Chain A
Amino acid sequence: MKNKLHYLNKEALQAFLSYTLLFILLSYLIISKKYLQLVVPRLVPFLVFMIFILCLFMVDSFKNLFRKKYKYNCQKYAPLFAVFFLLMFLSNHDLSILQYPNLIAPKRPISQNIGKVTPLPSKTLTVDEEAKKTILEAMKIPAAPTNKIAVKQPKSTEETVKEVPKAPALAVVSNKSLDDFIFDDEIIEQIPIKQEANNANLEPIILNSNNFYNELIKITNKIDDYQGQTLIIEGYILRDKTLFSTGDFYLARMAMTCCIADIMPFGLVCFAHGKYDYPDGTWIHAEGKITKTTFFNMPQAGLKLEKVKVIEPIEGYIYP
């Protein structure tokens, strides 16, 4: 044994250690779904590829463990150890603080439910499902199978929808100052009433973590078909003083496109009509009617709030 140790290749040992540790940690992150705190699910195949290659590396470095060399380059593996320790630390740490805009958690609790952060990130997906169930129970609608999106397509109505001229594709921003774009409640009132009445009878659209992004995009793209339909949405309040003067706000969730470096709030405008004066960052369950508005000349979906309830923050991001 002593003889063997004499031959130990320090560099191969470091390599073997770093590959093995990363291999175990990555597998753990994927199995426990904790990777969702840092990167999007789309990357899983690539992470599995990395695990596979790390396996090959492990075998290779193990084979060389007892082949002594004159010179070792041991700094080479420092980045791998650094990433290992970082991931170790972060996977054991509560990262929910990053889900709030501008690093601010809700400052003062409105009710006792607020500000309490559920500690387990692995609950990510279940919390939402539970929330959805309670909503459905409250509304006495039979719960749809969990994996299916509980959304019904709006029926095509005979009513001719008033064509709103679409903004030219690239006409995004001109040199006007921001004050010209302040939202006005009058903009909304151009909905054909019959259409709205028709849509009001449709089943409500319920947004959860899985369909939040796609549904909102769908609604925005075909806003004319959705006007007046009920939307149930959960998110936090995000105010922008330069855009909304009348106490309106964004109801948003943090969206992650690729990794934690690019998270940003994503949501829709809620017209509060002066009510619901919750502070920024409050998580609410909101119910309202979809309405049409414009944002820098692009048609956008808005929500006329009808029912609002303060809820516990939802763990996890939405992944476009």
Chain B
Amino acid sequence: MKKHIPTYVVTGFLSTGKTSYINSLLKNSSQKTLAIQFEQGVQSIAANTPNVQTVSFDIHNPKDFTAITQKIQTLIANNSFEKIFIEFNGMSDFKNLESIIFDSKLSNFLTIKEVVYISTTDFVLNMLKHIGPSQFSQIYNADKAKIWQNEANKTLIPAAKKSLRLINPKIKFSNGFYFKLLSLLNFSSLSLFLIIFTLLVWAKIIPATAHVIKILSIIAGVCLEAFPFLLLGAFFSAILQKYISIQQIENLLKSNPIKASLIAILQGIIVPICDCGIINVFRALIIRKVPLPIAILYLLATPFMNPFVMLSTYYAFSGNIAIVATRIGLALLCAGIVSLTFINYSDNPLLKNSSFTLELENNTLYSRNIDSNSRYYNVINYTQNEFLNMSKYVIIGATISALFQVYLWPILVNYSFVQIPIFAITTGFVFAFILSLCATADAMIASSLINQLSFKGVFSFMLLGPVFDLKNFLLLRKVCTYEFIIRLALTIIITITAVIYLTSLAANFVGVTL
């Protein structure tokens, strides 16, 4: 079997010092080395070093890889190189390099040992966000990063490192530490733990008590219920992203704010996406430049406009139409007020790298399709990514609420919170947040809580639950900045409290005791 030649890939944007880095490595090397350049830099590699052979290619036309691979192959066959350096093009996506190496016979001759990303603080902090996804793919695929350091930029290094870690959390720095343990403590590990736990219960090593079965089935039930809606939301937002242009949305939503608001509210009847799927669509709307108040109105009103939600509320309160009407009316009122407060909100609610990481993730899913420009492929890829990204948060939300429901709920539910109204409202909020019930189910639970929480508590439960709960929070966290989430949550909570108090005052005025 042929020996694989160790290959080192150096990536980075134009004129960030890739060539200087390779030269510094080659300076004292006595091994016979091939240096492949995929761009014409200012500097050339190791011009005066005798045991280094340099070759350079132009990869602007991505269909032309066969000629490149054949040339490299003949070079390798005719010389006995001990090491290969690849200086990759700063403007090209990493998947092009993968195509060159892995889709050809080249991968029988060489193995990539390490990918290093070279950059400067100036580039990472100021330019990165304006450059397309190609840079993100390079950072994502890098094992190591090197940021050029000098006296002037010393203080900026930590910030630059932080930005790179946002894109590639596992990246190592040539000047810094990286704790491997940290990578184990992420959100996926809960899923792994769950798998192990389930298998242990199955093998009867952990006794299958009623509590254990109840917790496991709540997690499974919530996931089974949420996943289809998550997929539906992801699919819907993928279509929104790939098939509907910004122009079309502008025509529909920007011309007339009242018309736009009505569309945002009423579409929920036609497209009944459950609350788990809505966050994906919300992000898609923001990326598609829909005005923030309209997007928020959509986020807050849709769960209540769902026909299933109305029906289940109707049934839960033994066919009491007044309660259904009150619920929808108050919910829309709150949604309107909250979205109005965001009219002058100038910050971008999305995470800085949100739309970029999205593009990046689309590119770095296991696939490297040649027809990556087709819309169908894009929609499928996007849906997959969104679904996979969000599913782990659903599992976490489900686990926490299952634990709460099994261990704390039986204790709490026996207390009566009616005496102090504000306490009843707060309890309603807390229950709604932690239980994270589906919007179609919470009315049922609410109606059973009426002894403990009174009208005020029950309505705080029913108004907050569908729009802001643990599951939603975990999903929003992935998409939006903390500042935005906190601002949104506080506004929602204050608005709901005020609206409930005003309603009960008004009702008292009319002569109905609440």
Contacts and interface: CB of A to CB of B under 8 A. Distances in A.
B98 interface: yes
Contacts of A168: 512-513
A203 B398 CA distance: 46
A37 B239 CA distance: 33
A265 to B, nearest CB: 9
Interface in B218-265: 218-225, 227-229, 231-232, 235
A85 B203 CA distance: 12
A231 to B, nearest CB: 17
Contacts of B103: 67-68
Interface stretch (A92-100, A128-136, A139-147, A182-190): A92-100
Contacts of B223: 83, 86
A170 B219 CA distance: 35
Chain B, interface residues (CB within 8 Å), range = 35 or more
Given A63-B367, A257-B441, A259-B225, A69 B195 contact: no
Given A46-B232, A73-B364, A82 B194 contact: yes
Contacts of A12: 366-367
B195 A170 contact: no
A317 B82 CA distance: 69
Given A68-B107, A221-B319, A264-B448, A83 B227 contact: yes
A76 interface: yes
A319 to B, nearest CB: 11
Interface stretch (B22-30, B337-345, B383-391, B487-495): B383-391
A153 interface: no
A69 B368 contact: yes
Interface stretch (A108-116, A172-180, A191-199, A276-284): A172-180
Interface in B176-213: 186, 188-189, 191-192, 194-195, 198-199, 201-202, 208, 210-211, 213
Interface string A210-226: 00010001001100000
Interface in A55-113: 56-57, 60-61, 63-64, 67-73, 75-83, 85-87, 89-90, 93, 95, 97-98, 102-103
A28 interface: no
Nearest to A220: B318
A50 B195 CA distance: 22
B121 to A, nearest CB: 25
B141 interface: yes
Contact of B191 (A15, A57, A78, A95): A78
A85 B198 contact: yes
Contacts of A260: 217-218, 220-222
Nearest to B438: A258
6 contacts: A37-B217, A79-B392, A79-B394, A103-B211, A169-B323, A262-B445
**Nearest 10 pairs of A and B residues by beta carbon:** A169-B322, A260-B221, A258-B441, A46-B228, A78-B191, A11-B366, A75-B188, A259-B221, A68-B102, A262-B441
Interface of B: 94, 97-98, 102-103, 107-108, 112, 115, 140-141, 186, 188-189, 191-192, 194-195, 198-199, 201-202, 208, 210-211, 213-214, 216-225, 227-229, 231-232, 235, 308, 312, 315-316, 318-323, 326, 364-369, 377, 380-381, 383-384, 388, 391-392, 394-395, 398, 401-402, 405, 410, 416, 418-419, 435, 437-438, 440-445, 448, 450-451, 454-455, 458, 507, 512-514
Given A103-B211, A262-B437, 4 more contacts: A49-B231, A67-B103, A170-B455, A213-B315
